[in-house]
Chains A and B, each alone.
Chain A
Amino acid sequence: MTDLHPLNRREFLKVGVAAGGGMLVGIYLPQLNSSETVSRTEVFQPNAFLRIGTDDMITVILGKSEMGTGIYTSLPMIAADELDADWQHIRVEAAPVDEVYFHPTFHIQMTGGSSSVTSEWERLRKAGATARAMLIAAAAKNWDVDPKACGTQTGYVVHEPSNRRVSYGALAEAAATTPLPADVPLKDPNNFTIIGRGTHRLDTAAKTNGSALFGIDAKAPGMLTALIARPRVFGAKIIRVNDARSRKITGVKAVVPVQSGIAVVADGFWAAKLGRDALEIEWDEGPNATVSTAAIREQYARLSNAPGKVARRDGDPAHALKTAATKITAEYEVPYLAHATMEPLNCLVDLGADRCDIWTGTQFQSLDHAAAVKLTGLHPNQVHVHTTMLGGGFGRRGSPTSEFVVEAVEVAKAVHAPVKVVWTREDDIRGGWYRPMAYDRISAGLDTSGNPVAWDHTIVSQGVLEGTIFAPDGNDGSSVEGAVEMPYAIPNVLVSLHATKLGVPVLWWRSVGNSHTAFVVESFIDELAHASGKDPYQFRRALLAKKPRHLAVLELAAEKAHWGAPLPKGQGRGIALHFSFDTYVAEVAEVSVSEPDTIRVHRVVAAVDCGRVVNPDGVVAQTEGGIIFGLSAALKSEITLDRGRVQQSNFHDYQVLRINEAPQIEVYIVPSTEHPMGVGEPPVPPIAPAVANAVFAATGKRVRKSPIRMNQAV
């Protein structure tokens, strides 16, 4: 990083300012693979995660992306607590790509899977504790006292016997020459002062005055903007291009082919857009030209008639089903869904002979880095990925093919100028990489008392993990996750999968398979409760006797929602529970249904157990947001295909929830001292079934297809 040329250096700084929401004191060079002794003159860098300046500023360096979930606040809280830092002095900086920041399980630099707090917990605590020990050692040496007689107090090392204190900043230089201690003890969690306390986000101010820098805002001197014409049918190939009209448009600089299509490069977005609109491209649409949602549904429904590959088997479900007093069967369906991040994808690449700088909002820094290294032929040390703020992620910015980075590098190679590729909303909605469509056939047997004795769940869907680093053994459990973990005490269970292969690219979408399986499992358990003539909440309770954490969130949500209290006519209450990403969430939705097809969700009460909570307000915000995100899918959004073409294109036909449709939301957190787990995704899955169950309570009609529409009711 020391060879950053001045302009890039300034850009990097700007990104840092946005990330921290305040001033940064300089460019950080992580002391990677550092020697035993850290020696710096101006700042103290005990490790790759922290830098302490002589001005008392503490910079926490995170190999993670802030896509809205608040980890640029909750993660520094972890380090700051062990460091006993003054929270007012904490700043955040996005790390460069380096193995030291790799995910401990997945071995890449990434943000996803609701795993950030979980994966960083230990090492950020250690980073903070180590720095604190070194500051104490430096002060003790200076005072010539026993380090054990020293303590810390919110940014100061104190020696009570002599009533002396010195700030971390004043110690930074001395601490930098202190040997790295081994095995520094961590705090007793009872002594946490920052972890567990509601803390304001560090990035709010910058997100309130327009100064937060997203990838789409990144700039480089002489930068051009490119839009890429991509095929309407997935996998279509270009036969011929006529770009004569494009090239005549004022501001258009070049038209270049890339793997994903034809890039129109111009001096700004608008000229690039006009230039792209003027392209005449003849496509060979290939084998996907006949793909349609109707045909996929037909194929999936047929497949669902027989069990697929077994994902879970308890007891003898076939026999139990055959001999049950009552047998109930239902079919469920969920559509493809686009992530539709508010900030469309984009990537700025400044490529020189011996250096490549990439600014983008990505969830997969090291994969993007590797892809750029391969494409440029540069040494890994010559390729620099600068992580900006992400205008939403939801999984879309974690691309296993790094396609939005690759195409930008391709364009930069062709035009010899810094280029920012920007996707339009249409590119985003029609660009594939969707939450997979799924079709489920599910049967259950009840005994004469109405207790479920058999459960047979057949799933048909595309998996999203196959061929990625997340399924190294080829075992893609993404389509059955959440179904395999069906928590209810039923003695005979079969969950099986038909994994399909289609030309529609699919991807992880906030809560991945759980977004589909929770809808099916939690709707169907509700069906069983009604078939047994039992209250859906009590029916679940009875089947969760051996699942205390499931039970606790269920009971908390029901209690706070006043389950059982009367509602006006035409309104109903529905409950759902789901465990995902090691977090337990139960939600109760109150809905009204008015003619002909208007479902209005008035109130949602959620109960969350995500283990020890780092930032309670962050958990509340993620739960509120997850519920709204899930409601968009539950009530509004679907991607459909006809003749190989995605039929939606923008927010007028790919609809998402708006504020006038948003319910009141109440969030309750179960106090816990268990290991902290993620909360970015787990609030999403329960909301769709909670709404479907509430619709049934209100109308007596069951909707087994999302988005939930009354004209689909049975």
Chain B
Amino acid sequence: MIALSVNAKRVMVDVDPSTPLLWVLRDNLGLTGTKYGCGMAQCGACTVHIDGQAVRSCVAPVSRAAGRQVTTIEGLSPDLSDPLQRAWIEIDVPQCGYCQSGQIMSAAVLLREKPIPSDDDIDQALAGNICRCGTYCRIRRAVHRAAELARGSK
């Protein structure tokens, strides 16, 4: 049994420690907001936070999360109130939407580290997150907008 905290809830999972965190979240814990896209840390659809750091959960063994705080898209806010979610909704960023959990989770770390990011900061922070629908222009706008909303709400 492996103990971890997921979205501020303590959970125990009975899996091999080498199992990628992604599949523990999706198959064992039913948290399907985190997506599978490539299985080799190339696309970012599976991005979650472990102790506040953006991690590609498709290649992170669940053992790496043992005893740590895991945050998934479901845990970002209970009510779509996170500035990123508000900005995503205001700008209608998603198309198919499949990559957006990962985009938002990567952007959340960026905004924490750089509350007023430049376009280059956004490009660097999100270069690991692929969107096939091509929402990149709106993602840039929405991250800037989220930064504004975050400042305004402080």
Contacts and interface: CB of A to CB of B under 8 A. Distances in A.
B37 to A, nearest CB: 6
A201 B100 CA distance: 15
Contacts of A204: 88-89, 92-94
A632 B40 CA distance: 20
Contact of A629 (B23, B88, B93, B133): B133
Contacts of B27: 225, 267-270
Contacts of A210: 31-34, 72-74, 101
B124 interface: yes
B94 A201 contact: yes
A627 interface: yes
A68 B100 contact: no
Interface in B68-109: 72-74, 76-77, 80, 85, 88-89, 92-101, 104
A126 B61 CA distance: 55
Contacts of A425: 37-40, 43
B50 interface: no
Contacts of B118: none
Contacts of A200: 89, 92
Contacts of B16: 250
Interface string A89-131: 0000000000000000000000000000000000000000000
B42 interface: yes
A340 B137 contact: no
Interface in A206-261: 206-214, 216-217, 219, 225, 250
A664 B137 contact: yes
B137 A394 contact: no
A482 interface: no
Contact of A208 (B19, B39, B94): B94
Given A341-B132, A626-B134, A658-B130, A621 B42 contact: no
B139 interface: yes
B55 interface: no
Interface residues of B, number: 60
Given A210-B101, A424-B39, A617-B92, A662 B76 contact: no
B135 interface: yes
Nearest to A623: B134
Nearest to B27: A268
B123 A391 contact: no
Nearest to A626: B134
Given A209-B77, A269-B27, A425-B39, A665 B96 contact: no
A389 B94 CA distance: 12
B43 A659 contact: no
Interface in B1-51: 15-16, 19-20, 23, 26-28, 30-40, 42-43, 45
Interface in A617-633: 617, 621, 624-629, 632
B68 to A, nearest CB: 20
B99 A342 contact: yes
A205 B89 contact: yes
Contacts of B31: 210
The 8 A-B residue pairs with the shortest CB-CB distance, nearest first, are A210-B33, A628-B134, A207-B97, A68-B96, A391-B98, A68-B95, A625-B134, A210-B73
Interface of B: 15-16, 19-20, 23, 26-28, 30-40, 42-43, 45, 72-74, 76-77, 80, 85, 88-89, 92-101, 104, 122-124, 126-140
29 contacts: A200-B89, A200-B92, A204-B88, A208-B93, A208-B94, A210-B72, A210-B73, A210-B101, A216-B35, A216-B36, A250-B16, A269-B26, A269-B27, A342-B35, A342-B37, A342-B131, A391-B96, A392-B133, A393-B96, A394-B132, A425-B38, A624-B137, A628-B136, A650-B39, A657-B136, A659-B127, A660-B124, A660-B127, A664-B137
